[in-house]
Amino acid sequence: MKDNSKISSAVIKRLPRYRRYLYDLQKKNVDRISSNELSNLIGYTASQIRQDLNNFGGFGQQGYGYNIQSLYNEISAILGLDQEYKMVIVGTGNLGQAIANYTHYYKSGFKVAAMFDVNPKLIGLRINDIEVLDYEMLDEFMKNNTIDIGIICTNKDSAQEVVDKLCAGGVKGIWNFAPTDLNLSDDIALENVHLSDSLHSLAYYINRNKQKDS
């Protein structure tokens, strides 16, 4: 078995894209595909695709290419998508509710077990049959339930306190939408989604293209 701990984050971030394209190909009843054909679809070079996949073992056959269903299943297992994850969302404003709705309708093995907020107007609200609980109940809930992922949709001033509570409660990963960097131990996975950073990067590329055209 290969040691996946040394594989770069860039490779890991490309795997969901491979999986998404493979899923679409399965829906079209395509059985196999070569790295060159996948390159034409996805935009990465065939060499890059082969190199990425070879990090995890030999999935393709020379002269045959990749079996699409098999490769889809392999990538799903590599990403840990062959199991279910229980999550809590802290902060149930517009963004928190949007994420709850997304995970509910996407039905991808990520299940929201509870939602929390400090706003009395939101406490008691039901979203996809899940009641928004008072944030004061978070510690007790974490003690009584096994939760894999904590989703942070609070403002930046509250985020670190929330993360501390979630980590103390045993979460294995944090999906952070708060516009701040968080401090947590190395054994807890962290994925930051800073929406403003993404939007600002988009503005940069728009203006860079304008400069090219001028």
Which residues belong to the annotated binding site?
Answer: 91-96
Question: Alpha helices, DSSP H only, in the chain?
Answer: 9-27, 35-42, 46-54, 68-78, 94-106, 138-144, 156-168, 195-213
Q: How far apart are CA 213 and CA 100, in angstroms?
A: 41
Q: How far apart are CA 190 and CA 152, in angstroms?
A: 11
Which residue ranges make up the annotated binding site for NAD(+)? 91-96
Gyration radius from the chain CA atoms: 20
